[in-house]
């Protein structure tokens, strides 16, 4: 094989290899999360006795990404930095926007002149309610002075002037509810599983979150200025605990969104049946009743997973669950046989205009 041809073949192999993998990934990803390790390069962030914020938060961010890739491969992970280099704050948000991310998670470590404070806190974008919240935002935002022409880039924002922060009180944040939801899930994990001191969910004006077009949070994983906490933040074990806590919060956040979507879909199914009833037409169908409960099943689609046309029907004080939807009694009877092993007590319930009727009434209607 000639040298040129060999190179061409290699290039082609690499190229097709990449494009197929990319296409497959695009199909399988349900969510995209951007993990933003704060600071980097000539911006060290907060400095402790031995540790530097930029190193600690990079390790944690990479570990969070590893947990996600390993355990929830349908979530795509994008890092704003995966090594020790500087990324301007506005570029971090731009990376998330460009990739249509569903979530932006900025990871930091706190510091204080006083060596006593310790614990974790998670911020959503908004106007600070206390001086200490403003202090954290001012400290994190101050890094923009390391960027060239930061004055024009951040619209004249002065990170050290309290007046500059008034702008955030005018901001309408459509993602606030979801951002606060994730923030509290992160804090719950830190407190319950990683056993870290919980300083709470807070709001303040962080430039890195300002222009993100998705729910976004900034996590302060602990105080590098506190000797005990610095040790924890620098240890592989501590970083693992913090990273797995953040990973679980992200995982459960996405799962809870999916639950909400299912609820909406279920509500739509019920609404469709109401439409049938309201239309006044004779819409006859048969369903197979498979369960009756006095409290609603929290997640019917999961309980009866794989079954067609799952339908919840409130009958007096009872909740009845049906599967399948057929236009003739024969079809319904045939389906009943196929599920008899799994649901030996299943029985056919006819509906007309969305209302339950008897089998004999249904037979008469079917003849018409």
| Contact range with Zn ion by CB under 5 A, out of 102-110, 241-249, 310-318, 349-357 | 102-110
207 vs 346, beta carbon nearer Zn ion = 207
Contact between 45 and Zn ion per CB under 5 A: yes
| Nearest distance from C-beta of residue 189 to Zn ion, angstroms | 20
| Contact range with Zn ion by CB under 5 A, out of 35-43, 274-282, 309-317, 324-332 | 35-43
Distances, alpha carbon 307 to alpha carbons 47, 125, 340, 362, in Å: 57, 42, 13, 24
| Nearest distance from C-beta of residue 161 to Zn ion, angstroms | 19
Contact between 38 and Zn ion per CB under 5 A: yes
| Nearest distance from C-beta of residue 130 to Zn ion, angstroms | 19
Structure tokens at 58: 């990079």
| Contact range with Zn ion by CB under 5 A, out of 114-122, 132-140, 156-164, 165-173 | 132-140
| Nearest distance from C-beta of residue 45 to Zn ion, angstroms | 4
| Nearest distance from C-beta of residue 151 to Zn ion, angstroms | 21
| Nearest distance from C-beta of residue 144 to Zn ion, angstroms | 12
| Contact range with Zn ion by CB under 5 A, out of 42-50, 78-86, 127-135, 336-344 | 42-50
Contact between 54 and Zn ion per CB under 5 A: no
| Contact range with Zn ion by CB under 5 A, out of 22-30, 128-136, 138-146, 265-273 | 138-146
Distances, alpha carbon 204 to alpha carbons 38, 172, 225, in Å: 16, 14, 21
| Contact range with Zn ion by CB under 5 A, out of 2-10, 16-24, 140-148, 311-319 | 140-148
137 vs 332, beta carbon nearer Zn ion = 137
| Nearest distance from C-beta of residue 206 to Zn ion, angstroms | 10
224 vs 323, beta carbon nearer Zn ion = 224
Contact between 108 and Zn ion per CB under 5 A: yes
Contact between 222 and Zn ion per CB under 5 A: no
140 vs 230, beta carbon nearer Zn ion = 140
Interacting residues with Zn ion (CB under 5 A) = 38, 45, 108, 140
């Amino acid at each position: 094989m000639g040298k040129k041809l060999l190179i061409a073949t290699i290039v082609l192999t690499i190229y097709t290899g990449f494009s197929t993998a990319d296409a497959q990934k695009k199909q399988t990803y349900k969510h995209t999360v951007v993990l933003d390790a704060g600071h980097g390069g000539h911006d060290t962030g907060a400095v402790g006795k031995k540790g530097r914020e930029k190193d600690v938060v990079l390790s944690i961010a990479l570990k969070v990404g590893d947990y996600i890739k390993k355990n929830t491969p349908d979530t795509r992970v994008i890092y704003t930095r995966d090594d020790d280099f500087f990324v301007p704050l506005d570029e971090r948000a731009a990376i998330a926007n460009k990739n249509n991310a569903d979530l932006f998670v900025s990871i930091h470590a706190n510091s204080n002149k006083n060596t006593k404070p310790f614990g974790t806190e998670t911020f959503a974008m908004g106007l600070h309610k206390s001086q200490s919240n403003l202090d954290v935002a001012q400290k994190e935002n101050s890094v923009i002075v390391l960027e060239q022409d930061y004055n024009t880039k951040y619209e004249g924002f002065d990170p050290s002037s309290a007046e500059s922060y008034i702008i955030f009180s005018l901001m309408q944040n459509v993602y606030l509810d979801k951002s606060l939801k994730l923030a509290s899930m992160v804090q719950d994990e830190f407190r319950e599983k990683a056993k870290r001191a919980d300083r709470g969910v807070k709001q303040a004006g962080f430039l890195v979150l300002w222009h993100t077009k998705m729910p976004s949070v900034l996590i302060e994983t602990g105080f590098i200025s506190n000797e005990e906490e610095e040790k924890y933040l620098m240890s592989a074990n501590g970083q693992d605990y913090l990273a797995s806590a953040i990973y679980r919060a992200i995982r459960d956040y996405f799962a809870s969104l999916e639950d909400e979507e299912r609820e909406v879909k279920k509500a739509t199914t019920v609404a469709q049946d109401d439409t049938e009833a309201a239309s006044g037409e004779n819409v006859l169908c048969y369903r197979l009743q498979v369960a009756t409960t006095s409290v609603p099943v929290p997640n019917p689609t999961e309980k009866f997973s794989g079954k067609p046309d799952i339908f919840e029907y409130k009958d007096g004080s009872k909740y009845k669950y049906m599967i399948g939807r057929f236009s003739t009694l024969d079809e319904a009877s045939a389906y009943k046989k196929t599920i008899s092993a799994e649901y030996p007590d299943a029985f056919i319930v006819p509906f007309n205009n969305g209302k339950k009727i008897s089998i004999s009434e249904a037979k008469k209607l079917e003849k018409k």
